[in-house]
A and B are shown apart, each in its own frame.
Chain A
């Protein structure tokens, strides 16, 4: 049937790559910005952008993890469909 062929190992590799992407996004949200700024306004602005970066990276991290998980789930669903089809044919 057109449009439902799935290579399981590629999907599993995809899930793993997306998992790694998530980890790296989390890491890049933790950039070291400690310094002696000597200025209250600059220090506050640095703290704000640090928080925004962490939040944005966290969003990317969550998205990558979520899609990693979904890739794995999708593969499981296709496997299940495949098995169901096989069972139907054999009965």
Chain B
């Protein structure tokens, strides 16, 4: 076959036109217009549950039409590109063929001249050599042109193969989607539709909203609005799948009662199914072993049970809520409240520091109980929710070989979570059935104050007061103006030898928050008992790695620090 003849086959103008026809969606758009109008009419035609099934039956047709549109546009584009590519090849073939004709003509002319040369003449010999050279050049050029024409044929075959393969892939995709599409309502009894259809549609809506709010991309305000739009009741939340409950247990902006239900259910499920829960919550062996995971959850469950028992001895026997279960940087997170966060007039959030893990939350809950009681003593007319927030990975202790307490890393990572939690409480209350809380206070111990200070730089909404006690220091340069709090209070006991090690010197450039302009200092050593340790809370005879004698912590009963924090929590400090 003559070189270039393969490349020249076909008329690419008609191929491009076919491609454009394929890409044109006029008739498909018209069909979609009618379909959507039909769906709209069905939706507008009444409340019958049967109609929702009809709408649902039309949806796969929309989806199929979209697939058809995608295939048509894609295949049309392939054909248009193919026509353009082949046209270019064909142009090149035509140019090469013209060059070939010219080269052959020149060679003929030179050969004719050579035939007339008198080769017996010395000049004739020279002329014959020159002409022979020109014939050789022409032959070389013809050889080059034939090679180029063969390459054009090869390029055309390659283009054909690529085009066919692309078209076949669209064909395959269409074959895959057309099966089972275009579903219809026929064959389903009216009676069954009346009972089933509406429920199915509602579940689909719930699923879609939950999928959206668990992506982590929505703000607490957005989460609260989307959740509120569902108008779910306890039974609806109870009916959610375990995996869904795990996802919701880490979402800020949900009402407290929802977080409580999903978190407690997730906790029980995790203890019964540790392997599955460990994976669902995103843990790996390098973060926390599965054995430690189960051990910590078991301790957490016991602490929650004890908190429920202890709450009966608190004024008003407040409800105990579990407000989360999650994973932050390889640590289990949670929050437990004495009091109903959806209803309380006064909300306190206590943030722990160094070495705090959920299996030790029981001690912090002891302090929370004392805070609840102290505030209630100051103002029995208020209602309280005292949250113990274990929502971030705290630094380990230097005794364990972990020196991260001197860095800001854990504080900055935890600050995002705390800010989200605080804004979530605000967002949920703003859309809930109860009045907004009158007084919101953040209390933070040790490295928790480092974290909370950074968090209050990030929050959208203002809190009423921020208290640090036994602070491990706050970022140097921090000013009260940066913090979204109306007031700030701070205490450091002279008996706490540990807290000052958290700032200054060569360790870092953190500072004691008591030194910040505008901070009100209060004493931890003017009460019946004097704080003599770094502990958040101690009860009776206790011992810690920090103090070998009997310790008295900042939230221990009888201390002036507890009394003052109770006053602040109660909203009694001007």
Contact = CB atoms under 8 A, between A and B. Distances in A.
Interface in A48-77: 48-49, 51-53, 55-57, 59-64, 66-71, 73-74, 77
Interface in A1-47: 2-8, 10-11, 13-18, 20-25, 27-28, 31-39, 41-42, 44-46
Given A21-B35, A31-B72, A63 B182 contact: yes
Q: Which applies to chain B's interface (DSSP): helix, strand, loop or mixed?
A: helix
A28 B178 contact: no
Kindly state the interface size class of chain B when it binds its partner.
Answer: 35 or more
Contacts of B46: 4-7, 10-11
Most-contacted residue by chain B among A14, A36, A53 (CB, 10 A): A14
Contact of A56 (B54, B177, B184): B177
Contacts of A25: 28, 31, 65
B171 interface: yes
Contacts of B37: 17, 21
Contacts of B27: 24, 27-28
B101 interface: no
Kindly state the interface size class of chain A when it binds its partner.
Answer: 35 or more
B53 to A, nearest CB: 9
A13 B40 CA distance: 10
Contacts of B54: 67, 70-71, 74
A91 B75 CA distance: 65
Given A14-B42, A24-B34, A56-B64, A62 B161 contact: no
Interface of B: 8-11, 14-15, 17-18, 21-22, 24-25, 27-28, 30-35, 37-42, 44-51, 54, 57-58, 60-61, 64-65, 67-68, 71-72, 75, 79, 82, 86, 156, 160-161, 163-165, 167-168, 170-171, 174-175, 177-178, 181-186, 190, 194, 198
Given A11-B42, A14-B41, A17-B41, 16 more contacts: A2-B47, A3-B48, A4-B46, A14-B45, A17-B38, A21-B38, A28-B25, A35-B14, A39-B9, A45-B164, A45-B165, A60-B61, A60-B65, A63-B58, A67-B58, A67-B184
